[in-house]
Amino acid sequence: MAFDYDLFVIGGGSGGVRAARIAAGEHGAKVALAEEYRMGGTCVIRGCVPKKLMVFASSYRGAMADARAYGWDVTAGGFDWTAFRAKFDAELDRLEHAYRAGLDGAGVTVHDCRAVVDDAHTVRLATGEAVTAKHILVATGGRPSVPDMAARAGAMTSNDIFKMESLPKSVLIVGGGFIACEFACILNGMGVEVTQYYRGEQILRGFDGEARGHIAELMRESGVNLHLGTDVLEMKATDGGTWVKSTDGREAVYEKVVYATGRVPNTEGLGLEATGVKLGRKGEVVVDEWSQTAVPSIFAVGDVTDRINLTPVAIREGHAFADTIFGAKPTKADHELVASAVFTQPEFGTVGMTEEAARDARPIDVYATSFRPMQSAFAGRADRVMMKLIVCAETRKVLGCHIVAPGAGEMIQLAAIAIKMGATKEDFDRTVAVHPVMAEELVTLRKPVRTA
């Protein structure tokens, strides 16, 4: 059977674009891609990149306070959200153009519309056109999930924050994951009065327990009004914002309410189940280690599979798919020891096992320290950084590394290389420290603080 394309990609995010570019540009496949919104997906348009720009913007209030402590005559006015938004939007436009240019340069045909799956080899576009492909790749990502009560009351999601016309004076953020905590820190840094509710015992579930507690304490010290074990009981739109009653009986009106209580895969209405593709409990596409679904011609990568929901992982999955199917280079995406960063203030960088997971699996030694870094100590700030290594007591391999500090995202990338290579604690010890930097503590931790 002759097909219109060798590959049709549904979704123009990081994973889908990488797969399309490699398949077409490096392996000579005839490729088409459909994207119903903006090219670049969550990461470029409503995720990692715009969030990091906001992190930068929110950090200058503290930086100017430090500058005064270091002798600079600095006077800061209020944060100008409108001016920032203009440059912010222009940068996202530039990045979207770069994504489009990359696809065009690779010879990929782009359809700016929604696409759904008709059968194992047919995709139907919103224009009504049906096209056939030997292989179909689903890379539609995920979206924020909001309870009906919150939606009726006009609650925002993380997507909406990037499009605000003005900064609110007060905001309630509901949730305790990394998105909720990042935006709590961002908006707090921009001068917004931030309250955060999380129904669990501690924020950042799934991360290292000691690091979670450290970050929560620092967030409170910086001005975030964080309430744990607390959830929204009732809420409704009212004059001046949203009235909220919490499970502990507290009532207040917030100018804006943001829900960051989870994300779900974008599979609704794609026609996947009718073709035989299996979906999981959250609606995620079930795939094997080759990113192949139950239908041999249909594959899926990125957040829509709900494996590791990180942009670099989606890119690796997309690249591995293209090399396997079109490059005669069978490649599995490696999901072991994937480092990540949470852009709270300060940042949290992590790779490998948490102390809790490691101690349940084997005997471990825990090396950790917390201290005031030189820069903030001189400025009179009480900030403390945390460095932590989880070490197998038998093999001495470093199983995990957790850093809470300014620039932790940069540090963890380099630590991840050593840990991925199987470095032992003695390898860290043999490494001469760079002085004076915060990261030198990673190679000067001599005695474990506890064993388990």
Instruction: Say if residue 32 is in the same domain as residue 129.
Output: yes
Is 334 among the domain residues? no
Is 284 among the domain residues? yes
Rounded (10°) angle between helices 209-222 and 178-189: 20
Separation CA 422–CA 427 (nearest Å): 10
Instruction: Say if residue 161 is in the same domain as residue 236.
Output: yes
Instruction: Say if residue 168 is in the same domain as residue 199.
Output: yes
What pLDDT was estimated at residue 117? 98
Instruction: Say if residue 417 is in the same domain as residue 370.
Output: yes
Is 243 among the domain residues? yes
Instruction: Say if residue 386 is in the same domain as residue 402.
Output: yes
Q: Give the full edge-to-edge strand order of the sheet including 340-342.
A: 340-342, 347-352, 398-405, 385-392, 364-371, 450-451
Q: How many residues does the chain have?
A: 452
**CB atoms closer than 10 angstroms to residue 355:** 21
What pLDDT was estimated at residue 245? 97
What pLDDT was estimated at residue 360? 95
Instruction: Say if residue 47 is in the same domain as residue 168.
Output: no
Among 261, 284, 317, the domain-final residue is 261
Q: Which residue(s) pair with 285 in the sheet?
A: 279
CATH of the domain at 208: 3.50.50.60
Is 297 among the domain residues? yes
Residue that has been written with the tokens 């499970």 in this structure: 247
Is 331 among the domain residues? no
Instruction: Say if residue 271 is in the same domain as residue 256.
Output: no
Instruction: Say if residue 123 is in the same domain as residue 177.
Output: no
Is 391 among the domain residues? yes
CA 197-259-383 angle, to 5 degrees, is 50
Instruction: Say if residue 156 is in the same domain as residue 225.
Output: yes
Is 332 among the domain residues? no
Range of the domain at 73: 5-142+264-326
Instruction: Say if residue 379 is in the same domain as residue 300.
Output: no
What pLDDT was estimated at residue 238? 93
Closest CA to 108 of 1, 15, 14, 16: 16
Among 261, 278, 311, the domain-final residue is 261
Instruction: Say if residue 418 is in the same domain as residue 300.
Output: no
What pLDDT was estimated at residue 215? 98
What pLDDT was estimated at residue 77? 82
pLDDT tens over the chain, length 452 residues: 799 999 999 999 999 999 999 999 999 999 999 999 999 999 999 999 999 999 999 999 999 999 999 999 988 788 999 999 999 999 999 999 999 999 999 999 999 999 999 999 999 999 999 999 999 999 999 999 999 999 999 999 999 999 999 999 999 999 999 999 999 999 999 999 999 999 999 999 999 999 999 999 999 999 999 999 999 999 999 988 999 999 999 999 999 999 999 999 999 999 999 999 999 999 999 999 999 999 999 999 999 999 999 999 999 999 999 999 999 999 999 999 999 999 999 999 999 999 999 999 999 999 999 999 999 999 999 899 999 999 999 999 999 999 999 999 999 999 999 999 999 999 999 999 999 999 999 999 999 999 99
In the chain, the number of structural domains is 3
Among 241, 261, 281, the domain-final residue is 261
Q: Which residue(s) pair with 197 in the sheet?
A: 174, 227
CATH of the domain at 384: 3.30.390.30
Catalytically annotated residues: 435
Is 333 among the domain residues? no
What is the token pair recorded at 444? 């000067």
CA 260-266-269 angle, to 5 degrees, is 135
pTM: 0.95
What pLDDT was estimated at residue 76? 79
Instruction: Say if residue 304 is in the same domain as residue 235.
Output: no
Separation CA 136–CA 120 (nearest Å): 8
